[in-house]
């Protein structure tokens, strides 16, 4: 595992308990030391904010969920989280996201969770300077055993490390150019660029952008990027795919990945990516979509109030409403019998292998970084970490027998993922 961080760095370079109210969590140094001599970033992380804690927000207790707390978010807000256990999570955020009430920009930062508190921030993507001349945008993070973590965004750069120390970001290989989708406002516009990353092992990672571009890293080398778009029109040209909001990517193995970009679903079979028929209507939710695949043949997509799944075939179920009035933008399924989906308003839904429970409020809605959505990462323990853009977070541990809250009957129209 020690070599993995170094290998990807070289290769990339070659390619170019708690109270019930919200309150700050005192940051301290991470409990997980560096496991490889990864070169730290040269840009120092800014000091934690000294702003006063937000006013308390009452969240009724929910079985298995901790009361919400607040960590200090980076400038630009928290945009992603990854967990390997209940004592190791990495959150990523910062950048030029144009998603908060004051249009804050900052370096791309990460924080590590040791089971009790979040660490001081570490710089993964420095603010623009020198050869690195692009602000990070909506950083996304994925971690696998090692620990080996990768942070990617839609600025065309990627970095890796063990969760605290990061190599200097390096450029992704150039992708083929297709005529731009008319809906794409172009880079630099508010919320125009998002990305997702998934790394099932230290030797394989995939990155998808909301422009329909997919990057694949395998055994120390980048494959040629693929760009997807609409079929050729009467003039013979192909328009590049573009979707506003979040995109989703899940790779249960190095030979199976599925991505969702608006109304498009992209599949990796171990050799190449292809586009398949979509389960959604022609209009994608502007907040985006998320996907989780606990196995190569079982996947679930959430978007808006709906969920669709496929199990053992290439056919997706019809979308069914599981979160009436909600905007689902995150899902994590570490096993076929356990999932958690989250929405932008701070509600979570759990899946027990048979059915989805109704949404329960676990976090307050974001009030500063209002356009970043909610991030969730779960392990098979089960354990989950849920974080919104403001840094409000909560954790899930399986309730002890007899402590479960009454669960309402799921509406007949609710789709469930078969176990």
Percent of the chain clearing pLDDT 70 (strictly above): 76
* Confidence at residue 408, expressed as pLDDT on a 0 to 100 scale: 31
7 secondary structure, DSSP code = H
Tell which wins on pLDDT, 191 or 45: 191
> Could you tell me the CA-to-CA distances from 205 to 163, 175, 254 in Å, in that order?
16, 17, 8
* Confidence at residue 10, expressed as pLDDT on a 0 to 100 scale: 34
**Cβ contact 58:20 at 8 Å:** yes
User: What does DSSP say about strands 140-144 and 374-379: parallel, antiparallel, or unpaired?
Assistant: unpaired
* Confidence at residue 266, expressed as pLDDT on a 0 to 100 scale: 95
Mean pLDDT of all residues belonging to the chain: 80
What is the distance of C-alpha 406 from the center of its chain? 30
The tens digit of pLDDT for each residue in 86-119 reads 999 999 998 876 655 556 677 899 999 999 999 9
CA distance 370 to 345: 10
* Confidence at residue 58, expressed as pLDDT on a 0 to 100 scale: 78
Span of 23-27, 267-271, 346-350 with lowest mean pLDDT: 23-27
The tens digit of pLDDT for each residue in 309-337 reads 999 888 899 899 999 999 999 999 999 99
Percent of the chain clearing pLDDT 90 (strictly above): 55
Q: Is 304 left (phi over 0), alpha (psi -120 to 50) or beta?
A: left
Region 360-369: mean pLDDT is 93
**Cβ contact 313:299 at 8 Å:** no
Place of tokens 């991030």: 375
Mapped onto helix, strand or coil, the DSSP state of residue 9 is helix
Give the list of residues 6+ apart from residue 247 with CB closer than 8 angstroms, or none: 194, 195, 196, 208, 209, 210, 259, 260, 261, 262, 288, 289
Mapped onto helix, strand or coil, the DSSP state of residue 196 is strand
> How many C-beta atoms lie closer than 10 Å to residue 361's C-beta?
18
Tell which wins on pLDDT, 295 or 280: 295
Is the overall model pTM greater than 0.85, yes or no? no
The tens digit of pLDDT for each residue in 41-87 reads 333 334 444 444 454 467 888 999 999 999 988 878 899 999 999 99
Bond into 382 cis (ω within 30):
yes
**Cβ contact 341:376 at 8 Å:** yes
Handedness of CA 332, 259, 152, 391 (dihedral sign): negative
Structure token pair of residue 380: 């098979």
Region 337-358: mean pLDDT is 96
Q: Best-predicted range by mean pLDDT among 3-7, 296-300, 400-404? A: 296-300
As a dihedral over the C-alpha atoms of residue 75, residue 76, residue 82, residue 87, rounded to 10 degrees, the angle is 30
350 DSSP β-pair partners: 340
Region 273-294: mean pLDDT is 83
Region 329-347: mean pLDDT is 97
CA distance 84 to 314: 29
User: What does DSSP say about strands 122-125 and 140-144: parallel, antiparallel, or unpaired?
Assistant: unpaired
The tens digit of pLDDT for each residue in 217-263 reads 999 999 999 999 877 777 777 899 999 889 999 999 999 999 999 88
> How many C-beta atoms lie closer than 10 Å to residue 238's C-beta?
15
Handedness of CA 154, 159, 165, 168 (dihedral sign): negative
CA distance 165 to 144: 15
- Phi, psi dihedral angles at 14 (to 5 degrees): -65, -30
Closest by Cα among 91, 155, 124 to 372 = 91
The tens digit of pLDDT for each residue in 377-410 reads 999 999 999 999 999 999 999 876 554 433 332 2
- Phi, psi dihedral angles at 9 (to 5 degrees): -65, -45
Q: Does residue 2 carry a pLDDT above 80?
A: no
Q: Which pLDDT band holds residue 134 (cuts at 50, 70, 90)? A: low
The tens digit of pLDDT for each residue in 146-157 reads 999 999 988 888
Q: Does residue 161 carry a pLDDT above 80?
A: yes
Strands (E), 282-407: 290-295, 298-303, 306-311, 320-321, 328-335, 338-343, 347-351, 360-361, 374-379, 383-388, 392-397
Taken in order of first residue, the domains within the chain and their CATH numbers are: 2-47+54-397 (2.130.10.10)
Q: Which pLDDT band holds residue 38 (cuts at 50, 70, 90)? A: very low
Span of 54-68, 175-189, 200-214, 347-361 with lowest mean pLDDT: 54-68
* Confidence at residue 238, expressed as pLDDT on a 0 to 100 scale: 86
């Amino acid at each position: 595992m020690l070599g993995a961080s170094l290998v990807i760095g070289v290769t990339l370079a070659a390619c170019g308990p708690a109270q019930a109210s919200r309150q700050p969590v005192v940051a301290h140094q991470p409990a997980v030391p560096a496991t490889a001599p990864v070169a730290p970033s040269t840009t120092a992380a800014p000091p934690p904010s000294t702003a006063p804690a937000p006013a308390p927000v009452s969240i009724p207790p929910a079985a298995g969920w901790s009361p919400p707390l607040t960590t200090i978010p980076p400038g630009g807000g928290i945009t992603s989280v990854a967990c390997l256990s209940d004592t190791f999570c990495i959150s990523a955020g910062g950048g030029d996201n144009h998603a908060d009430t004051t249009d804050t920009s900052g370096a791309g930062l990460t924080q590590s969770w040791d089971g009790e508190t979040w660490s001081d921030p570490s710089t993964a993507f420095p603010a623009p300077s020198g050869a690195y001349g692009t602000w990070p945008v909506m950083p996304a993070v994925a971690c696998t055993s090692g620990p080996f973590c990768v942070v990617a965004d839609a600025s065309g750069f990627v970095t890796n490390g063990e969760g605290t120390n990061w190599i200097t970001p390096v450029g992704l290989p150039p992708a083929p150019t297709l005529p731009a989708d008319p809906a794409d406002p172009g880079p630099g516009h508010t919320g125009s660029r998002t990305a997702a990353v998934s790394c099932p092992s230290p030797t394989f990672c995939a990155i998808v952008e909301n422009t329909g571009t997919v990057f694949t890293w395998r055994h120390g080398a980048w494959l040629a990027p693929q760009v997807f778009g609409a079929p050729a029109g009467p003039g013979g040209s192909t328009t590049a795919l573009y979707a506003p909001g979040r995109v989703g990517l899940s790779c249960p193995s190095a030979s199976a990945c599925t991505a969702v970009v608006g109304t498009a679903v992209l599949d990796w079979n171990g050799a190449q990516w292809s586009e398949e028929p979509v389960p959604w209507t022609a209009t994608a939710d502007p907040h985006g979509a998320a996907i989780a695949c606990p196995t190569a043949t079982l996947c679930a997509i959430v978007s808006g109030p709906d969920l669709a799944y496929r199990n053992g075939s290439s056919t997706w179920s019809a979308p069914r409403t599981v979160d009436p009035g909600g905007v689902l933008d995150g899902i994590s399924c570490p096993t076929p019998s356990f999932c958690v989906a989250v929405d932008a308003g701070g509600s979570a839904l759990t899946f027990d292998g048979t059915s989805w429970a109704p949404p329960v409020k676990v976090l307050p809605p974001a009030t500063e970084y209002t356009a970043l959505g909610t991030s969730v990462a779960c392990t098979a323990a089960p354990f989950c970490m849920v974080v919104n853009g403001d840094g409000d977070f909560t954790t899930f541990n399986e309730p002890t027998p007899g402590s479960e809250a009454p669960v309402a009957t799921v509406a007949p129209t609710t789709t469930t993922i078969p176990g």
